[in-house]
Amino acid sequence: MSETAIQTYTRADEAFDCLQTAIVKGDLAPGEKIGEVELCSRFNLTRGPLREALGRLESRGLLVRRPHAGVKVVSVSADELIELYRIREVMEGLAARQAAERMTDEEIRDLLATLDTHEKMIEEAQGQAYYQAEGDYDFHHRIATGSRNTKLAQMLLGDLYYMVRMYRYRLSTSAGRPHMALGEHRRIVEAIAQRDGELAEFLMKRHINAARQNIEQKIQEGVLTI
């Protein structure tokens, strides 16, 4: 993302971004079957670039496409959401460990600074789940890139986070434990600052595990219907 600014923003890139945010934000409901011409008029595109974008989105698993039958936004069950967190647990655990070994001192300082910002944001906008979610995303984003593991960052940022965020927007909650999460974040950063990769991995895994259990519980309570 922060690699090199794309000189020319091609129409296909535009289509890709538009569709991706539309899916993530829920403007395109999951399971919704949608025509190509419909999408073209909606985003002011022609079918060429659109189809290219559709191909990319399909291979990222955000939508499915049956030949001659149209595209539909992927609809993920509650079970599959849980599975997503299981994957995050091991992958972000690895990211935290490698981040502890490889982040620069400056990156760690920045990470600490963002935590302070998040804390203020939470206090100011009490209960505004949106800010909490954004801060959470920022935190995990920095650790993923800090791992210096190109493919790992690519898989986390390009695949998993978008799917998770899709649910974040839809459920708007799933957070519900802002201060607790912040404390866990702090301890992870501490471990990274001390260059203790093993501990960072352990704490990160436990952090995501807790988030998973939180969601699981809410689903069982019937608060979250998916």
Where on the chain is the footprint of DNA (CB under 7 A)? 7-8, 10-12, 34-37, 45-49, 51, 65-71
Reading the block at residue 2, the tokens are: 């922060």
* Angle formed at CA 84 by CA 103 and CA 56, multiple of 5 degrees: 85
Report the residue number, 118 or 205, with the smaller CB distance to its own copies. Answer: 205
Residue 216 touching its own copies (CB under 8 A): no
The smaller minimum CB distance to DNA, of residues 50 and 203, is found at 50
91 binds, among its own copies, DNA, none (CB under 5 to 8 A by kind): its own copies
Region of 21-29, 50-58, 114-122, 179-187 interacting with its own copies (CB under 8 A): 50-58
- Secondary-structure breakdown of the chain: helix, strand, coil percentages, each rounded to the nearest 5: 70, 5, 25
What, of DNA, its own copies, none, does residue 36 touch, CB below 5 to 8 Å by kind? DNA
Draw the binding track, 51-90, toward its own copies (x: CB under 8 A; -: no contact). Answer: xxx-xx-xxxx-----xx-----------x--xx-xx-xx
Instruction: Name the binder of 31 from DNA, its own copies, none, CB < 5-8 A by kind.
Output: none
Residue type, 138: D
Helix (H) or strand (E) holding 70: strand 70-73
Stretch that binds its own copies, among 48-56, 183-191, 208-216, 217-225 (CB under 8 A): 48-56
Dihedral (C-alpha) 193, 195, 201, 203: value to the nearest 10 degrees? Answer: -40
* Burial of residue 178, with CB atoms counted within 10 A of its CB: 0-12 exposed, 13-18 middle, 19 or more buried: buried
* 170 neighbors 121 (Cβ within 8 angstroms): no
Residue 46 contact, options its own copies, DNA, none, Cβ 5-8 Å cut-off depending on partner type:
DNA
- Give the Cα separation of 213 and 31 in Å (integer): 26
To the nearest 10°, report the CA torsion of 175, 176, 182, 187.
Answer: -80
The type of residue at 128 is Q
Distance CA 153, CA 175 (A): 23
User: In whole angstroms, how close is the CB of 69 to its own copies at the nearest point?
Assistant: 9
Partner that binds at residue 87, options its own copies, DNA, none, CB closer than 5 to 8 Å by kind: its own copies
Total number of residues binding its own copies (CB under 8 A)? Answer: 38
Residues between 163 and 202 with contacts to its own copies, criterion CB under 8 A: 163
Residues that bind its own copies (CB under 8 A): 6-8, 10, 12, 48, 51-53, 55-56, 58-61, 67-68, 80, 83-84, 86-87, 89-91, 93-94, 98, 149-152, 154-155, 158-160, 163
